[in-house]
Amino acid sequence: MAFAGRWETESQEGYDEFCKLLKIPDDIIEKGRDYKMITEVTQDADDFSWTQFYPADAKVTNKFTIGKECDMETIGGKTFKATVHMEGGKLSASFPNYHHTSEISGGKLIETSKAGSVVLKRTSRKL
């Protein structure tokens, strides 16, 4: 239940390089660079609802059960099949162009997305 709650972005490392690798348009990169994204997570045992609120009132909600394949959606509206795993307290899933992990460390939500050698690390504080 450690993931449950509302989280606000405190810092991001590797944001520009990661977004450019995913071919996100420059104007969208600019809008999101300093945006304090809100992540809202509900958890009931192995069942999760994970919502991220982006600039311009955009939001994406993904619901998943640990270890079971599900439909997921990207901020760009693309859907794909994925299985979220829990290992050592970390959630992990492979997206179409990158691998994503989420963990709670020091009371913070740490999200790491890796595409080859490019890494985006986002740290959020609990609200």
pLDDT per residue as tens digits for the range 5-38: 999 999 999 999 998 888 888 888 887 788 889 9
CA–CA gap between residue 103 and residue 112 (Å, rounded)? 9
DSSP one-letter code for 98: -
Using a 10 angstrom Cβ sphere, with 0-12 exposed, 13-18 middle and 19 or more buried, the burial of residue 64 is buried
CA–CA gap between residue 56 and residue 88 (Å, rounded)? 35
For residue 98, pLDDT beyond 90: no
For the entire predicted model, the pTM comes to 0.88
Q: Which domains are assigned to the chain?
A: 5-126 (2.40.128.20)
CA–CA gap between residue 109 and residue 119 (Å, rounded)? 16
